Amino acid sequence: MSPRQPATRPAGDCRAQLDELFAYLDAELSLARCRVIERHLSQCPCCDSLAEGLRQAIAACRARGRQRVPAAVRQRARVAARTLVRRR
Amino acid sequence: MPGAPRSSAVTLAGNPHLSERQAAEVARYAALVERAAAGDAQALEHLLVDAQELAWRFSMTVCGHPEDAEDAMQEALMRTYKHVPQVRNPESFRPWLYRTVRNACLMSRRRRVDEPRHMVPLDDLLPVPGAQAPPASDRRPSGRTPEDVVVNAGLRRRLNAAMAKLPAPFRAVVFLREMEGLSTRETAATLGTSEDNVKTRLHRARLFLQKELAVWREGAPAPVDGRPASRSRKGVRR
């Protein structure tokens, strides 16, 4: 990183690779591009840490999955659907 | 494993952009719609319950008001009931349902008093170069992959609280892509925006969520009720 850059900004190279990093995490990169990103991650603790945090955030969202609908709400939905269907 | 080429993006429902799970959902809905359109009352009832539950999940995640969720459920119920007999292409039902639910939710939604209007600037979401990264043992516990993450109660509360700090358009993208499992293309169609816009919002939202979850892992107390512990606007630029 250039010494003129503010300390609070990520290095230009890392920032330029953000889109690639997301594509990598979404498994949308070719094997060749994966290797390039993996090489960068192995050499850049800052990006490696970010990638790990992103993996965990994505995994947490996916593991949360679909929010469970409360039993009372589900029951009301069933009653409303049944009532409508029987009215046909 | 994230990072591996996506070999599972097969063309199960004639759409190369769908994963197996997404294609299975499309096929499940298509079968239900065909049966319902042919007069199967049980299939129609199933679709009507699904539509209402989706409306509830969307509304509660994106809007957060139980009253709005009830209104959205009613709207989704009636629109689905009227639409099903007219469906010509059963595979088009699922995207239609998501669009309808999204419209029903946005029609009835009331903005939260503390709801952020703007996303945190990108620079505030990126790590500081040269900052000391956690030890490798902390970052990559041996034998665990991100898929193994168990969403315990604390993490779920923190995730819900972090989601609540996102502006609604970003929340909608996370909800559709990560929680409902829609593809980028389906999400863009549902929200009436471009795929590039969906990707941009998703990336920014992920950066925000990873930052919030990292703060929590570093020792901040988890919120009590799925909302931020403080209703302050700290961290969100207006």
Show the tokens assigned to B73: 């459920």
Flag whether residue B71 sits within 8 Å of chain A, measured between CB atoms.
no
Contacts of B202 in chain A (CB under 8 A): 22
Which pTM value belongs to this model? 0.74
Backbone angles phi, psi at A22, to 5 degrees: -65, -40
The pLDDT of B58-65, averaged and rounded, is 85
What distance in Å separates the CA atoms of residue B189 and residue B198, rounded to the nearest whole number?
A: 10
Show the tokens assigned to A83: 């009532």
pLDDT band at B81 (very low <50, low <70, confident <90, very high): very high
pLDDT band at A4 (very low <50, low <70, confident <90, very high): very low
pLDDT of B114 reads 62
Question: What single-letter DSSP state applies at residue B91?
Answer: G
Distance of CA B142 to the CA centre of its chain: 30
| Mean pLDDT of all residues belonging to chain B | 75
pLDDT of B130 reads 57
Higher pLDDT, B183 or B198: B198
What distance in Å separates the CA atoms of residue A56 and residue B122, rounded to the nearest whole number?
A: 19
The pLDDT of B185-202, averaged and rounded, is 94
Indicate which of B179, B201, B211 best probes the interface with A, i.e. most A CBs within 10 Å of its own CB: B179
Environment class of residue A68 by beta-carbon count within 10 Å: exposed (0-12), middle (13-18) or buried (19+)? exposed
Higher pLDDT, B61 or B227: B61
How many Å lie between the alpha carbon of A71 and the closest alpha carbon of chain B?
Answer: 11
User: Does residue A8 register a pLDDT over 50?
Assistant: no
Percent of chain B with pLDDT over 70: 67
Torsional class of B131: left (φ above 0), alpha (ψ -120 to 50), beta (otherwise):
beta
The pLDDT of B128-157, averaged and rounded, is 56
Question: Are A48 and B149 an interchain contact pair (Cβ–Cβ within 8 Å)?
Answer: no
Flag whether residue B203 sits within 8 Å of chain A, measured between CB atoms.
yes
What distance in Å separates the CA atoms of residue A13 and residue A41, rounded to the nearest whole number?
A: 12
Indicate which of B45, B47, B63, B204 best probes the interface with A, i.e. most A CBs within 10 Å of its own CB: B45
Show the tokens assigned to A42: 């192995």
pLDDT of B128 reads 61
Contacts of B229 (CB under 8 A, 6+ apart): B161, B221, B223
pLDDT of B110 reads 58
Indicate which of B7, B52, B58, B138 best probes the interface with A, i.e. most A CBs within 10 Å of its own CB: B52
Contacts of A72 in chain B (CB under 8 A): none
Per-residue pLDDT reduced to its tens digit, A57-68: 998 888 887 778
Higher pLDDT, B229 or A45: A45
Show the tokens assigned to B5: 């080429």
Higher pLDDT, B114 or B135: B114
| Rounded (5°) CA angle A25-B218-B137 | 60
Higher pLDDT, B113 or B183: B183
